[in-house]
A and B are shown apart, each in its own frame.
Chain A
Amino acid sequence: MARPLIRTWRGSLQLRVVAVTLVASTLMVGAFGLIAAKSISDGLVDQRVESSVDVLESGREQAVKELSALAGSQDTWLPRVATELVKTLASQPGSGNSPYEVLLVPGPTMVDLDAAYHDGFGHPAVATSMSVPDDLRALVSDGRAGKKFVETTIDDKPTRPYVVFGTPLRIANWGSFQLYYFFPLDDEAESSAIVGRTLFIGGTALVLLLAVLAALVTRLVVTPVRVAARTAQRLSAGLLHERMTVKGADDLARLAGSFNLMAENLQQQIVRLEEMSRLQRRFTSDVSHELRTPLTTVRMAADLLHFSREDFPPEAARSAELLQDELNRFEDLLGELLEISRFDAGFAQLDADAVDLNPIVRSVVASFDSLAERCAVEVRVKIPQAPTIAEVDGRRVQRVLRNLVGNAVEHAEGNPVDVELAASDTAVAVTVRDRGVGLKPGEEKLVFNRFWRADPSRARQTGGTGLGLSISVEDAKLHGGWLEAAGEPGAGSVFRLTLPMRSGDRLLSSPLALTVGGPGDDAGDNDEHEPQEAAGGVHSG
């Protein structure tokens, strides 16, 4: 679930821009809305408080005047006067529309007052001294006036916000009272809520509008970029005539223009290279034909002379022999040069088919029987029991193996040569191991160079051309395989050909190890093939 989400996030510029716009504008609009709502509701409350102060002031004066008319706290008129007083005060035209509550609480000094009145006189209903916030009561008891915002319930109605004003009343000579006004802030709260709601709706709409706007603007930019990407893909897939449409004269039109110019140049280059490659192939093919036909005539003539050399004087007979031998070399060289040039021209084609490699390995080894005998080299073969079927080009594999086995026999210096074939689920490998002079450090790469010879003065017995391993590397590459070499001076060398089981697969490891000497020493004891990690060496692919 999370993975495709991340992929979409990374894959879409538009999505990212819209998301960032959404987050940023939500933060900004949210902050603005909060500040605006706060200042508006503060303003409303302040206004209410201001007008309430006037009501309070006049109420206080009236209360002081009426209470001062009484004789003292024992005056039996006191409860009635107080009750009447709060009733009058509460019915004064106050601030705002909602009725407010007035509470007159006798001061603590009036000990002789009937206990029933200690909670104070309230109007219109039920507010008592208990309804007054403690800290305000403390303040007023201390002789100071103050106000307090509270959320409380005075009557049976649900909790409401109030602003509570408290002020001490000092009645000359006989006592003190506390006068409280409870102004409900319903209206203000309601207004604030309306403002808040409006701001919220407006803000949300604004944010969404911004997101849509961002989406539209990015689309405007992203669409041509996507078109460019698609066009580039089609170009790289070989549709060289693909172009972008250029509209207007803005930056995007310039992008399209430059893109088309690039495509144009690329197309020209590719067409030119294709033409060159075609000419090269044509040339190779022509050279091949033009050289081979006379060579065939020469070859046949030489064969004829060679066949009847016994009738010739000795010099002529020897010349016929030399002619024959050198023609063989010339033919091999020509064949391999043409093969290499075919690879260079990219003309080589893999002719892969499911074939059993076991008989191929056996027949290649068998074809070196006479050379092995001449060199007194034993060639030991280790092949799995079951057929080793892989999708390979049999002719090319045969050619590679012929090269490897031929080289090994030639360089074995009379020591045994081991040829081993093994397969894993994904790859087949053949190693050819000799115990001859071996390779010096660094030479395991050089051996694949064209015309490279370990020892230029060395007499060659099979008349190799110096191109064999280079061609073999190309053959391996064509399969998507590896041809690697390793060696140690004096210990011998090993060549390993690894090919994917199915044509076109990628190779990850080889079923055989690339080690000098190695398991061939106990050949025959162990027929198991453990897949092993590829050792060091040169990957040809």
Chain B
Amino acid sequence: MERMRARVLVVDDDPALAEMLGIVLRTEGFTPSFVSDGERALSAFRENGPDIVLLDLMLPGMSGIDVCKAIRAESGVPIVMLTAKSDTVDVVLGLESGADDYVVKPFKPKELVARMRARLRGSQDDMPERLTIGTPGLRVVVDVPAHTVTLNNAEVKLTPLEFDLLVALARKPRQVFTREVLLEQVWGYRHAADTRLVNVHVQRLRAKIEPDPENPQLIQTVRGVGYKAGIG
């Protein structure tokens, strides 16, 4: 089955980089569109309806963080940040504002494309599955084919990545997943990437489904090992 050419919105203020990205993306089979400042990014996003967004963190006008938050507020489309800063503060700030992944400049084109593909692939199997975690008073139900999550019967909006993370944990409740295993299963990265990705996304997921994210019940941290889903 021939997949439709994925549409990519590139938000970057550097014309040379944007053009080069365009060349690389077209050769890799994407359909790129470009916007060079933050303020127009949101309207361009609405017009183009891209499948994935490449977002530079340092932008004139509106900062990449704000653009990221604005897009996330209305869509769960995968966002990959392009950043020149690899400090934890910057990376975590970007991920917390809603990005799914990040690549640090200068990146290898192959790496960027691999990460974009991983984000576009989504969950492969759509088996008719209903997963339940939590206690009777705090029940999270995941309907895998319908891509919906309910917390005590109220629907919770999750991004595809958060959804995949929750499904991975909920399929094997009580089993402890290391960050490396989650990176491989959820992100599709075979070679140990940055485990901060997992930490931030677990926090984001907790913020959406845990009544008290500081004291998590549904997604528990196993010190020195990783995370597990809690059931009653």
A residues near B, CB below 8 A?
285, 288-289, 292-301, 303-304, 331, 342, 347, 349, 351, 354-356, 359, 363, 387, 389, 394-395
Contact = CB atoms under 8 A, between A and B. Distances in A.
B110 interface: yes
B14 interface: yes
Given A297-B20, A303-B108, A303-B110, A387 B87 contact: no
* Closest 4 pairs (CB-CB, A-B): A389-B224, A289-B84, A292-B105, A354-B224
B88 A349 contact: yes
A354 B107 contact: no
Nearest to B17: A297
A300 B85 contact: no
Contacts of A285: 85
24 contacts: A285-B85, A293-B14, A294-B14, A296-B82, A297-B14, A297-B16, A297-B17, A299-B108, A300-B24, A303-B109, A304-B24, A304-B27, A331-B106, A347-B87, A351-B88, A351-B196, A354-B223, A354-B224, A356-B224, A356-B225, A359-B178, A387-B224, A387-B225, A389-B223
Given A294-B16, A363-B192, A300 B84 contact: no
A304 B113 CA distance: 13
B87 A349 contact: yes
Given A303-B108, A394-B195, A292 B223 contact: no
Contacts of B105: 292-293, 295-296
A118 B89 CA distance: 119
A359 B194 CA distance: 14
Interface in B3-22: 14, 16-17, 20-21
Nearest to A351: B88
Contacts of B21: 300
A408 to B, nearest CB: 21
A165 to B, nearest CB: 102
Interface string B187-211: 0000010111000000000000000
Interface core residue of A300, A355, A394 (most chain B CB under 10 Å): A300
A118 B195 CA distance: 123
B180 interface: yes
A490 B196 CA distance: 42
A387 B84 CA distance: 35
A301 B88 contact: no
A387 B225 CA distance: 9
Interface string B77-114: 00000101101110000000000000001111110000
Nearest to A334: B106
Contacts of B58: 289
A355 B84 CA distance: 27
B120 interface: no
Contacts of A394: 195
Contacts of A387: 224-225
A539 to B, nearest CB: 27
Contacts of A293: 14, 17, 84, 105
B70 interface: no
Contacts of B24: 300, 303-304
A215 B82 CA distance: 70
B23 interface: yes
A355 B23 contact: no
A294 B180 CA distance: 32
Interface of B: 14, 16-17, 20-21, 23-24, 27, 58, 82, 84-85, 87-89, 105-110, 178, 180, 192, 194-196, 223-225
Given A288-B84, A289-B85, A296-B17, A304 B23 contact: yes
Contacts of A288: 84-85
Nearest to A289: B84
A303 B105 CA distance: 14
A285 B27 CA distance: 32
Contacts of A294: 14, 16-17
A139 to B, nearest CB: 102
Contacts of A356: 224-225
A99 B133 CA distance: 114
A356 B181 CA distance: 14
A349 B224 CA distance: 20
A289 B24 CA distance: 21
Contacts of A292: 84, 105-106
A395 B199 CA distance: 14
Interface core residue of A292, A299, A304 (most chain B CB under 10 Å): A292
Given A303-B109, A354-B223, A387-B224, A359 B180 contact: yes
A349 B86 CA distance: 12
A300 B223 contact: no
Contacts of A296: 17, 20, 82, 105-107
A304 to B, nearest CB: 7
Given A363-B192, A394-B195, A299 B106 contact: yes
Nearest to A328: B108
B20 A300 contact: yes
Given A289-B85, A293-B14, A363-B192, A299 B107 contact: yes
Contacts of B88: 349, 351
A248 to B, nearest CB: 50
Contacts of B108: 299, 303
Nearest to B91: A351
Contacts of B110: 303
A354 B58 CA distance: 32
B19 to A, nearest CB: 8
Contacts of A342: 87
A121 to B, nearest CB: 111
Given A297-B16, A300-B21, A395 B194 contact: yes
A297 B22 CA distance: 11
A174 to B, nearest CB: 123
A293 B27 CA distance: 21
Contacts of B27: 304
Contacts of B192: 363
A304 B110 CA distance: 10
A461 B178 CA distance: 34
Nearest to B58: A289
Contacts of A298: 106
Nearest to B14: A293
A349 B91 CA distance: 13
A438 B157 CA distance: 60
Nearest to A357: B224
Contacts of B224: 354-356, 387, 389
A199 to B, nearest CB: 75
